[in-house]
Structure 1
């Protein structure tokens, strides 16, 4: 700032210069004061700014670990004393100290009584830990092996969900339990109990450790099960040539030259379908010779008496199924059923329906006394590894296919589904 100089006795002109000097001095001082005030105000704001970080720290020493790159104003609080607190009378590293980063280091700015907060916080953490422990235990019970040592019966639709390891020692000591397992496979295996969607009952799966075979049975209602059905990936089980088919448990089989078959000493291959009434010894056999399609049926009645084979020589009369829930005929093969004697046959292909919803409802004459599980093979997908999915015929007549949709050009076949209505 350059001021006017007074070089001669004060005249009117000199007085004007002096006044101008005072004006310039006043303006300069005002600018300095304004600048200093703004800087001082900003400094006060910066010093007062609190940016609370997401979580408190356990002790002061944990600040550097949890917040290694702090910014000015970042603020947190220590929930507990430091391990070596106090080291001197001015040590602020105690529980409840609020710490603020001033741009260079963490400074203590306030002390709070945190005892109530810590108590509530610890109780909340304990409740969360207890919940996690209980949840883990329930998951373990469902997916891990349960203790089956006290198991006396599996004919209980309210049996807790989970996997039960049942061995020959357990079944030897409990013959009634052994009788409830799938026939001829009741040695050592895992019983998997799966609750129904509405939690009113449970379905069961038996996996034999000895043979690797798989059986399933569904709950008919809240107290009763249907028959055991051999599944093994929903494909027919190929048996050793010469197996006695009258000794087989319920299931779907494929073999040559069956003992006690409809044609003695036959080298042909046969498809054998066996069903059984729930909780009794009655069994039904349906045998189809593979090369010509001839079909025989027979039954085992009370006291294990086989009633002989009867050949089904009459041609089936096929009736169209009325498709529902958006299902349509696939490949020009309308879904149909035929009833010959006490047996019902299905054939045809379908696609494009509502996933996992019934595609048709059978009339009373073709309705099974209990749910029937069979397989449905995808057709028309062009894949060499077409998926196989479960087809279920319910005792209310509904027929469903459980699957995830594949390509748009895929259909689902229902051929070779055969069951008894007795």
Structure 2
């Protein structure tokens, strides 16, 4: 498509967009008496308007049913996690038996590593991307220490080549092959939070398995952003949060995928919890943990109803929109954003996110050579909400469920004005 750097073009694209109606289903923060230009869904999604009614329903059921709400509520609480896991099937390319909604991302990553990181004297290393999100780094560091290993020798990081911002797939595969005798786990973010690079999950998984290692992924920036096929790609496990593109609200419940070949194996090691026990025997209150033969076998406790209700409401919108249509619009908006940014003069930055739309999601990371924090503050003052990440990146993320081409154009207008007055 031939793009044009005009408001008229952006308005025409919005008029042709079948998803544009979903914008009205969200609340936008107000800046200077009007809707903010909110391009920060990669940090926290907006509040869907149907959340309030959904919470009020659970409050009413709690009020009227008390403990009987577990089986008499409009949405019986006994099965609440399943109301969220079912709509996630299409987003993750998994059966409902391979998905569970529970805890938070970092807790789930610890639980998964305790199952999938089983080191011995020969095979004890973990491979991950350099510059992974800090919580992932902390999880890996403390897990290897838990098993008595030194992170300096047990954790291998793949870095970009000198002078580059992105990690090359061939470098990942080369290290996996080189370390095949000592590698226990390959753990990558599906998308690197800083650069926005979407890693080749199928290729990394194949290489890890060939080396005799498990393959796991942190999909915090993938969930609700890029559709994936975790089952068909033979991924061993994955974890994610739901407060970014999934719009589950601040601190919302996390989720996990466990491939059926592991989930259905009751002998596969996991930490036991009451809600992960075989459902038919759960209320017998007997000794002996017998896990459910599915990802819910990793559940620890009763479903966190009030920490899941906003996600449940948001996923209704995802089902109505369709992840395929959302992905198509996302590619269109980021392509348009990249085109507009290329028109800018008088401002020193580069886009470090992959140019190929198949190697990125909804985020473009702009690396500023100087004055980045000052430029970010001027954006904020002008009514733009984007985030700053040290040491020099402003992340811009038009979310297709509620952002518009006009949002993208107005962002460009403002940054062009900042550039002209630099």
Shorter-chain TM-score: what band? under 0.3
TM-score by length of 1: 0.20
Larger radius of gyration: 1
When you count helix as a share of all residues, which structure comes out higher?
2
